[in-house]
Amino acid sequence: METVDIRPDEDVRLNPERLTELFNQLGNRGAADVVCRAMEELAARLTKIEKSFWQGEYQAVSKGARSLIAIAEQIGLNGLAQVARHVSVTARTEDKTATAATVARLLRMGDRSLSAVWNTQNLSG
């Protein structure tokens, strides 16, 4: 019997125009502060969503995903926002398999999205 190794991989959908708009509106320091705070909040919410999922708290998963959407959109992470919408829907239905799949996708996309923003804006130094 042949085994199949599945390695989900998808591109991060980052809207660089949104980041440019933030930097134009707020200046370099102000925008960098907003982006850093947003990234910290996204990371915290992703952790909370994962914890809620493993505890079987589907309403908390849905609520956490909905709260993540606006933050992701604020800094141009359109793909992450879309995946969060999917998580919210599947968690509300309490479909364990679908919620597990979408939460896993959200966590993967979250990690990759945060790295993309960090690298794009060279916020690391």
Question: pLDDT digit string (tens) for 24-67?
Answer: 999 989 988 998 999 999 999 999 999 999 999 999 999 999 99
- Look at residue 19 in the predicted model and tell me its pLDDT: 82
Torsion of CA 64, 70, 76, 28, to 10 degrees: -110
- For residue 19, being part of any structural domain is answered with no
- For residue 15, being part of any structural domain is answered with no
Residue length of the chain: 125
Residue 124 — pLDDT band, cuts 50, 70, 90?
Answer: very low
Query: CA-CA distance, 114 to 111, in Å (whole number)?
Result: 5
**CATH code: domain of residue 97:** 1.20.120
Domain with 84 in it: 26-121
Which stretches within 55-95 are classed as H helix? 58-74, 78-93
- For residue 2, being part of any structural domain is answered with no
Residue 125 — pLDDT band, cuts 50, 70, 90?
Answer: very low
For residues 4 and 47, the model is more confident at 47
How many structural domains compose the chain?
Answer: 1
**Tokens 């800094």 label which residue?**
75
